[in-house]
Structure 1
Amino acid sequence: MATKSEHDDDRWSQDVTEHSDALDLEEDVFTWDDPARIARSLQRSAEASDRREGTPYQSAMSMLTFYLNRAGSTLPEERRRTLEQAKDELRAVFGR
């Protein structure tokens, strides 16, 4: 059973993912199987946001990295691979 602090951490990261000041994400974007689709969605969200502090690329990559880091070792290897590929696709859609 998780401790109170682990539950607080879960809620905190979920809250950031769902209510980020930087991006309005499409529902379940990080569960999709197509890395290119994930990248395009993050690009659209970042470019549409008027609340982000950095460039659209920085905001999109930061959100993806944040999700990967918060999931940590609980993320299945196949999902991690898909999201790492989404990073490469994100670089491509932003011409990096």
Structure 2
Amino acid sequence: MLVALDKYGSITLPAPLRQKLGLENEIYLELSLEDDGAIVLYPVNVQRNIRLNQKGLNKLEQARKSGTGQLPEWLTEDMKNAEADTDQQIP
């Protein structure tokens, strides 16, 4: 299957190939270069990482308890397990 590299360095995977592989929009692909020059792509999951200091966690807890406002679903899910990052100081 022939694909072209555009002026921005991007390629488009043809729809039949994406469908066959079950790739959906906004998926991340890891690219590796093999010793023989082959380019290999494989899908990966990217996990968001939210880091808060204790002050930020306190504000987050207040927001949780208030029950007001609408946050993106991904943030709501991430907040369920939020905890202080004791390994690194955040101003």
Length-normalised TM-score, structure 2: 0.29
Q: Tell me which of the two structures has the higher relative contact order, counting C-alpha pairs closer than 8 angstroms and 6 or more residues apart.
A: 1
Larger Rg: 2
Going by fraction, where is strand more abundant, 1 or 2? Answer: 2
